[in-house]
Structure 1
Amino acid sequence: MSTQTIMIESDVERSLDRISLEIVERNHGVADLSIVGIHTGGVFLARRIKEKIEQREKVVLPSGNLDITLYRDDWSLISQNPIVKKSDIGFLLEDKRVILVDDVIFTGRTIRAAMDAIMDYGRPLSIQLAVLVDRGGRELPIQPDYVGMVVAPHPDERVDVLLSEKDDCDAVVLSPR
């Protein structure tokens, strides 16, 4: 089994353009909209989506980032000393429609943890989910509202999202576990 590139830079850019447009369309504009990215890849994608919406709509959207490490139901299995990043939500969530952004959705457990973390900051009007890649395999009844690409990898494959902010290129690759 070899590594296979399933999205290149132009595919990622086109997907983010489409997701940004769908967010504005589905929400009938940008009133009360906010963007929150999940560490790490979701933070970079959230920034890009935010910039696209702001440029198109000529607005400034509240945004933040979320570390869900201690909200995970498996953190004690992953490591006895989890690496906790900083969450930064510097605005009130009440009366906001939160667009939660992540790079890949798989089991749904990361998103469940993120929703728990968001609720600790306040009670938004709604939470909508945007992901670059939906790889299926849900263990919880959580589905994204906005998706760049749906892929059904072999159980022995992993989906890696490479982003220029940390990997010097934009791509999505399937690779052996």
Structure 2
Amino acid sequence: MGAADISRALTRIAHEIVERNDGAADVVLMGIPTRGLPLAHRLAARIADIDPGFDAETACGALDITMYRDDLFKNPTRTIGTTSVPDAGIDDAVVVLVDDVFHTGRTIRAALDAIRDIGRPRAVQLAALVDRGHRELPIRADFVGKNIPTARSERVNVHLEELDGEDAVLLTKGA
């Protein structure tokens, strides 16, 4: 995917979020760092364009899931990130978790545990730029930019302008 493809996918996801929720009045976007956070901000801006009552600045937060992961023992030490919740909180809101690549479902399982510790939303939905398959848990995305079937040995790398200087989704062979 190139920059134009990513832009179109995010615009479509924004429209789908507004349609599914009968507007965006109760929607809170929580980006999962690293690349889910800038995607959440981009989605918030697009939702604000669609629904003028939606405040992109106050309805967007970050959800660090580091301490909720079930693979901490297998990976090198990770830096604990910051969770920032909008001032209004997430209680009774529709929380849309935003991530770049949806793969096994384990990141989202960790995000659901993290959400439980900061509030009680009315509903939790998932938006992913790319769904590459290979689910290990019974979790599915509500909003997907692009389904990219992959082999387990392949890797999907998302590059975003804010972090990498370009917008691209690249499929590479694993080791």
Cross-structure match for 1:20: 14
Gaps of 5+ in 2: none
Cross-structure match for 2:55: 60
Matching of residues 38-53 of structure 1 within 5 Å: 38-53=32-47
Alpha-carbon offset, residue 90 of structure 1: 3.3
Alpha-carbon offset, residue 155 of structure 1: 1.9
Residue identity (%):
48
Cross-structure match for 1:121: 118
Matching of residues 90-169 of structure 1 within 5 Å: 90-91=86-87, 92-169=89-166
Gaps of 5+ in 1: 1-6
- TM-align CA RMSD: 0.9
Match 1:84 to one of 71, 74, 80:
80
Alpha-carbon offset, residue 55 of structure 1: 2.1
Cross-structure match for 1:32: 26
Question: Secondary structure of 1:50's match?
Answer: helix
Greater relative contact order structure (CA < 8 Å, 6+ sep): 1
4+ residue segments displaced more than 2 Å: none
Question: Secondary structure of 1:77's match?
Answer: coil
Question: Secondary structure of 1:88's match?
Answer: coil
Residue deviations 1:25-67 (CA, integer Å, cap 9, x gap): 0101112111100001100100000001112211214110011
C-alpha distance in structure 2 between counterparts of 1:155 and 1:34, whole Å: 33
Match 1:10 to one of 4, 11, 30:
4
Q: How many residues align?
A: 170
Alpha-carbon offset, residue 87 of structure 1: 1.1
**TM, length-normalised to structure 1:** 0.93
